[in-house]
Amino acid sequence: MIEIKNIKKSYGNLEVLKGINLTIPENKIITIVGASGAGKSTLLHILGTLDSPDCGEIWYDRENIATYSQNKLSSFRNNNIGFVFQFHHLLPEFTALENVCMPAWIKGINKKEAEQKALKLLNRLGLQERISHKPAEMSGGEQQRVSVARALINSPKVVLADEPSGNLDVHTKNELHKLFFTLRDEMQQTFVIVTHDTELAEMSDLKISLQDGKIL
């Protein structure tokens, strides 16, 4: 379980998050919705340790990671958090298999073990024919599924997704959303998803609405 307590964040004179309290249950799909500028991405980045709050606590199980050093945070992030972004951020010079393996190699998992796990994930996501392909040789939907496999390679506590279907056509978007629910059910995976997609938000286990830096 993840719990954040009284998280505040400002950039200069702009107060973006105004005392956020939130509990994220395990094995659920949680969506964060709100108008542009409401603080959704900032909250997600703080949850993912990509940004730090001005004050407050961030608890992953019994660890308050808000007190961690940058080096300790970097290790914690790679071992416990998966990321999926609107633009997949795959490394163009590497194959699908190599892109998925990257976080495992950073963690120190040996090449053979990492590749075996990556192959299982790519097969599960219907990408067995794309293992040796580089990003430019794949469709947008395929690239996004590779990024989902990469997010899952280290068996994270949570996958954080920022508008993951925002750049996809309707059919591909719906397929990606179905995939999230399948992974929740089959792998007991927790997802926190920032989205403007009302259909996905209504389907999720918990919808969090942000307005002007506060939860409604």
Domain ranges of the chain: 2-215
Q: Is a pLDDT exceeding 70 seen at residue 20?
A: yes
d(CA 196, CA 178): 17
User: Which pLDDT belongs to residue 144?
Assistant: 84
pLDDT at 166 over 80: no
**pLDDT (average), residues 128-132:** 91
pLDDT band at 88 (very low <50, low <70, confident <90, very high): low
Predicted local distance difference test score (pLDDT) of residue 38: 83
At residue 61, the pLDDT reads 87
pLDDT of residue 77: 87
- In b/e form, how buried is each residue of 78-99, taking b as 16+ CB within 10 angstroms? bebbbbbbeebebeeeebbbbb
What's the mean pLDDT in 31-50?
88
Contact in structure between 48 and 203 (CB atoms under 8 Å): no
* Residue 147 burial class via C-beta count within 10 angstroms: exposed 0-12, middle 13-18, buried 19 and up: buried
- Residues near 103 by beta carbon (within 8 Å), at least 6 away in sequence: 78, 82, 150, 153, 154
Collapsing DSSP to helix, strand or coil, 91 comes out as coil
Chain centre to alpha carbon of residue 105:
19
The mean pLDDT of the chain is 89
Q: Which fold has domain 2-215?
A: Rossmann fold (3.40.50)
